Amino acid sequence: MGKLISIKNVEIGMVLDMEIIDQKSGAVLVPEGMALTKSLIDKLKGNRVSSLIIREEEVPEGIKNEDFTKEYSKMAESFDDVFEKAMQNGEIKTDQVMHQMEGFVEEISKESDILTQMRLMKKTDDYTFNHSLGVSILALTLGKWLGYSQEQIEELAIAGLFHDIGKLRIPMDIVKKPGKLTEEEFELMKKHSFYGYEMLLRTNEFSNGILLGVLQHHEKVDGTGYPNGVKADKIHDYGKILAICDIYHALTSNRVYKDKDSPLTVADYLKKESFVSLDPYMTQVFLKNISKFYVGNKVLLSDGTTGLIVYIHPQDENRPIVQVGDKFIDFMKEQKLKILDILI
């Protein structure tokens, strides 16, 4: 038997374990076994469906890395404690986090499929908290792909973990606002990177690279970013790395004001931005390596069916070949279907 959940908690990619019937006409609105797309969820809401039964996700044998899970959970617990204390008195106590950082980085660095393991981790309802852990993992992983030293990789993990800590000084009704921010609210939100830099600076515990990474993670190489609008030569490499990882994780996550995008859609966006606002070399390294995790993963298609990624084109890693039953769909060619998400 599946799990009964409210329509408010339904996410794209969840699979119906029981068909939904229109109470007035008796017609089937969505059949059992259908993976939910945004349009199907909107259809259910339009028909005033309040709850539905979702098939509980089964993780295939041997997929979950228990060592990864253990280190992630330990770091999540310690960082949660840092968050709570910082919210209460504005002070950052990092002893426990720093003590666990070496083991955290070592275990993450060994993992061969970082995206799957991140998707398997239990999430809280706090986007900023989840996002901080996600960016930390992606940043240290990109540092590894770039050939950075162990010390630099650990610094990237720390910078990723604390990159949004300044949001604790922004009113929560703005941070968690479900609609578009007003111009005044956005100007206030833009101060979070400086606030984070200031909070970390006061501890006297962080290197200049970590401080600049936190300060500059919203700067753009073309000078259109914030808080200082500096160009590429004035942005620390950690800031450039965090910018890529921040965008990737944010856009592939559900946020209070926007549903997540497919990792492939986001990869397309990063590729375009690498010609404008993101460091081109670092973005290329990120996209080439992240695409290696796609093969063998299940995907949700725009018609509600699911398929399997069987091949990544080397000339364009964001246009895979997907197998659906005995049919193969090559996304290098124009298709009516779209890939909405990568599933476990």
pLDDT per position as a tens digit, 215-227: 999 999 999 999 9
Q: What is the mean pLDDT of residues 122-142?
A: 83
Taking the C-alpha atoms of residue 332 and residue 320, their distance in angstroms, rounded to an integer, is: 7
pLDDT in tens, 261-283: 889 999 999 999 999 999 999 99
Percent of the chain with pLDDT over 90: 51
Residue 111's Cα: distance from chain center in Å?
A: 17
Taking the C-alpha atoms of residue 54 and residue 126, their distance in angstroms, rounded to an integer, is: 23
What lies within 8 Å, CB to CB, of 117 at 6+ separation is 64, 65, 68, 69, 72, 111
Residue 124: pLDDT over 60: no
Percent of the chain with pLDDT over 70: 95
Q: Kindly report the number of other CB atoms within 10 A of residue 180's CB atom.
A: 9
237-251 and 263-273 helices, crossing angle to 10°: 140
The token pair that represents 216 in the structure block: 């500059």
- List, in sequence order, every residue forming a beta bridge with 342; answer none if it has no partner: 299
Task: Please tell me the predicted confidence (pLDDT) of residue 60.
Answer: 66
Q: Kindly report the number of other CB atoms within 10 A of residue 66's CB atom.
A: 7
Residue 1: pLDDT over 70: no
Task: Please tell me the predicted confidence (pLDDT) of residue 41.
Answer: 87
SS3 327: strand
243 phi, psi to nearest 5 deg: -60, -45
Of the listed ranges 79-83, 138-142, 210-214, the one predicted with least confidence: 79-83
Which position has the token pair 């890939």?
339
The token pair that represents 256 in the structure block: 């209070």
pLDDT in tens, 50-63: 888 888 766 666 78
Task: Please tell me the predicted confidence (pLDDT) of residue 123.
Answer: 58
Band of residue 185 on the pLDDT scale cut at 50, 70, 90: very high
- Cβ atoms of 250 and 131 within 8 Å: the answer is yes
Q: What is the mean pLDDT of residues 233-238?
A: 98
Task: Please tell me the predicted confidence (pLDDT) of residue 248.
Answer: 96
What does the H/E/C string look like for 105-130? HHHHHHCCCHHHHHHHCCCCCCHHHH
Widest pairwise Cα distance in the chain = 67
Q: Average model confidence (pLDDT) for the chain?
A: 89
Of the listed ranges 73-82, 115-124, 135-144, the one predicted with least confidence: 115-124
